[in-house]
């Protein structure tokens, strides 16, 4: 796959066309998606027309940062030219009248929307049909399964997903691609299925960090890659024993090797386990309460057509009192305050993007334990798929990403630190 950044450089130099790039992506989708099944709705004819139009537009339009760049959209995000069924077969005919705000931003920046990528039902826990491109017997993760897999398979350079628990960073880890979940308020969620108004966040996937920076400049309003100031010797924190036995031993060992390699820039400290357990419990309470409030009007009339995962979430939410919910929201504020004190002293916190390598397909979408704290706090996170001797590798040879987290609103600092970090680890 030619990266979006490389395509833009060649395109600006007149060495390639948007149509030829789009055709190459469509050919790769045709070749491999029969096994991977990353796409819910593909629009090849419209894609070719949009690419031809991009090539025919005035030269001044080349200032658009995403002119001619293919992008996939998770199928809980509205698009006016493609159906959006939220991962539910019974909503196959749902056709939004307008684009989500973020899709409008992508189109204005010149992006070519290829179509909708597969998601899990209601972006929740029931696995989708999508397979891991690196080994089809394994899961790509959820709920942004199609978006992560489409990038990992080389179908497209960029894809948008969402995260409420761990649905951007975890699939990025399983599929070994880069991902950014920015600060929770950075991307407008108008036109995105709401399961939790407190926790829902938008993120995206790319095959390289340069492409993450490119898309972030459009959706998050961080500086373009060329304008991102280099950072020298950041101060990093790693909590030892984070999430205990939920994380595979080889992941803990891999993190220790990374810390040893980075040396004095990383402070090692025992994980504040009791606090984190309390914070994660609050995440679950908020999620259950809000998903029940948001989805019961859809689920109640057709319980026989809804997965047990979604019905159980609604049942759990109904058992929670408003007092339980409000107390959990107060715990969330405690978590955000606590993390603010941590990031007052550090540029970033290092942890694993997932508890281990991808689970087998039959075993579901995986454990989001490594991500829920950051979804609760809304802090920006970056997942880096390392290569070389410091790559964290599971028993089946699948990798585990390195997660870098920064303070609320520090999205540019996160990218600065990520660029520095990746250069020293790969």
Query: Can you give the pLDDT at residue 153?
Result: 98
Domain residue limits at 244 = 1-426
Q: What is the mean pLDDT of residues 380-389?
A: 97
User: pLDDT by residue (tens digit) across 345-382?
Assistant: 999 999 999 999 999 999 999 999 999 999 999 999 99
Residues with active-site annotation: 74, 143, 167
pLDDT above 90 for 312: yes
Token pair belonging to 381? 């996170």
Domain count across the chain: 1
Provide the token pair at 288: 């259950």
Strand order in the sheet with 201-206: 39-42, 112-117, 70-74, 158-163, 201-206, 178-181, 381-384, 402-405, 348-352, 236-240, 266-270
Residue 117 contacts residue 70 (beta carbons within 8 Å): no
Mean pLDDT in residue range 330-341: 98
Question: Which of 10-24, 87-101, 243-257, 328-342 bottoms out in mean pLDDT, i.e. has the lowest?
Answer: 87-101
Q: What are phi and psi of 183, to 5 degrees?
A: -50, 140
Q: Residue 158 — φ and ψ, nearest 5°?
A: -135, 145
Domain CATH code at residue 300: 3.90.1300.10
Instruction: Give residue-wise pLDDT tens across range 28-78.
Output: 999 999 999 999 999 999 999 999 999 999 988 889 999 999 999 999 999
Residue 245, burial from CB neighbour count under 10 angstroms (0-12, 13-18, 19+): exposed
Q: How confident is the model at residue 190 (pLDDT cuts 50, 70, 90)?
A: very high
């Amino acid at each position: 796959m030619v990266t979006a950044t490389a395509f833009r450089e060649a395109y600006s130099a007149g060495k390639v066309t948007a149509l030829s790039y789009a055709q190459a992506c469509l050919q790769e989708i045709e070749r491999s998606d029969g096994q991977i099944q990353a796409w819910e709705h593909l629009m090849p004819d419209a894609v070719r027309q949009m690419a031809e139009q991009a090539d025919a537009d005035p030269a001044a339009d080349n200032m658009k940062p995403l002119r001619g760049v293919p992008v996939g959209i998770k199928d809980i995000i509205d698009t006016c030219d493609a159906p959006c069924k939220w991962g539910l077969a019974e909503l196959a005919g749902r056709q939004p009248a307008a684009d989500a705000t973020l899709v409008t931003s992508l189109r204005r920046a010149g992006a070519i929307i290829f179509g909708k990528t597969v998601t899990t039902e209601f972006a929740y826990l029931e696995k989708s049909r999508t397979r891991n491109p690196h080994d089809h017997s394994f899961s790509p993760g959820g709920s942004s399964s199609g978006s992560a897999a489409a990038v990992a398979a080389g179908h497209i350079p960029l894809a948008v997903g969402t995260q409420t628990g761990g649905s951007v960073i975890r699939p990025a880890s399983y599929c070994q691609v880069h991902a950014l979940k920015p600060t929770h308020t950075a991307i407008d969620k108008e036109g995105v299925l709401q399961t939790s108004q407190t926790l829902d966040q938008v993120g995206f996937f790319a095959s390289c960090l340069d492409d993450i920076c490119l898309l972030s400049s459009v959706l998050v309003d961080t500086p373009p890659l060329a304008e991102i100031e280099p950072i020298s010797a950041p101060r990093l924190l790693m909590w030892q024993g984070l999430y205990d036995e939920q994380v595979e031993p080889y992941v803990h060992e891999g993190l220790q090797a990374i810390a040893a390699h980075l040396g004095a820039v990383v402070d090692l400290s025992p994980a504040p386990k009791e606090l984190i357990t309390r914070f994660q419990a609050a995440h679950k309470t908020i999620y259950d309460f809000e998903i029940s409030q948001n989805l019961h009007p859809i689920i109640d009339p057709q319980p026989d057509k809804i997965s047990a995962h979604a019905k159980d979430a609604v049942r759990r939410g109904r058992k929670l009192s408003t007092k339980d919910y409000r107390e959990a929201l107060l715990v969330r504020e405690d978590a955000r305050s606590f993390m603010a004190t941590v990031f007052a002293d550090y540029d970033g916190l290092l942890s694993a993007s997932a508890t281990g390598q991808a689970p087998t397909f039959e075993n579901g979408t995986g454990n989001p334990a490594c991500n829920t704290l950051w979804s609760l706090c809304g802090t920006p996170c970056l997942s880096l798929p390392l290569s070389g001797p410091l790559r964290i590798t599971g028993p089946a040879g699948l990798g585990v990403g390195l997660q870098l987290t920064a303070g609320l609103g520090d999205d540019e600092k996160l990218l600065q630190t990520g660029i520095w970090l990746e250069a020293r680890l790969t």
